[in-house]
């Protein structure tokens, strides 16, 4: 009997992790001295320069649109236009990413819109066939 072994996808960024059940989430660092939250592992706080005070945390999956632009020219192979966004997550971390599932028109966008993180296959494959998963932003169903 050949049982199919689940293939674990690969994280497209260093601060994307997978729970034991395979569910993706983003990790960050919380400064015990000043409360600053930043994406990814940090040795020192960017806000207060404290060393040895950073604690690993799971980042929130909801936030608000802080800044955005519509990209019309990009690298070869990247479909344009798309919305490049900076989101302030609940809890304070700021992340850059792509806003998906929305028409890339100025009229459809507004500062402070509620968004959520969604995880998707990037369409790229590792030599062993595994997929890459990354995070994107999508409009939230209800305010965060």
Structure token pair of residue 50:
């404290």
Q: In this predicted structure, what is the pLDDT of residue 136?
A: 98
Q: In this predicted structure, what is the pLDDT of residue 6?
A: 61
pTM of the predicted model as reported, rounded to 2 decimal places: 0.87
Q: In this predicted structure, what is the pLDDT of residue 141?
A: 79
Q: What is the pLDDT along the chain (144 residues), one digit of tens a residue?
A: 455 556 789 999 999 999 988 899 999 999 999 999 999 999 999 999 999 999 999 999 999 999 999 999 999 988 999 999 999 999 989 999 999 999 999 999 999 999 999 999 999 999 988 999 999 999 997 654
Segment holding 45, helix H or strand E: none
Segment holding 130, helix H or strand E: none
Tokens 């700021």 appear where? 94
**Can you spell out the DSSP letters for 85-97?**
EEEEETTS-EEEE
Q: 42: which strand partners?
A: none
Q: In this predicted structure, what is the pLDDT of residue 55?
A: 96
State the burial class of residue 95 (Cβ atoms within 10 Å of its Cβ: 0-12, 13-18, 19+): buried
């Amino acid at each position: 009997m050949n049982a199919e072994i689940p293939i674990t996808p690969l994280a497209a960024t260093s601060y994307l992790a997978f729970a034991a059940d395979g569910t993706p989430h983003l990790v960050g660092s919380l400064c015990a001295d000043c409360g600053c939250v930043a994406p990814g592992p940090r040795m020192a706080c960017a806000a207060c320069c404290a060393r040895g005070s950073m604690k690993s945390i799971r980042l929130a999956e909801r936030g608000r649109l802080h800044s955005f632009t519509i990209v019309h020219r990009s690298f070869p192979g990247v479909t344009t236009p798309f919305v490049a966004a900076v989101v302030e997550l609940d809890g304070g971390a700021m992340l850059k990413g792509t806003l998906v599932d929305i028409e890339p028109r100025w009229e459809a966008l507004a500062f402070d819109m509620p968004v959520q993180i969604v995880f998707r296959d990037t369409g790229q494959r590792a030599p062993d066939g595994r997929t890459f998963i990354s995070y994107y932003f999508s409009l939230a169903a209800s305010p965060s």
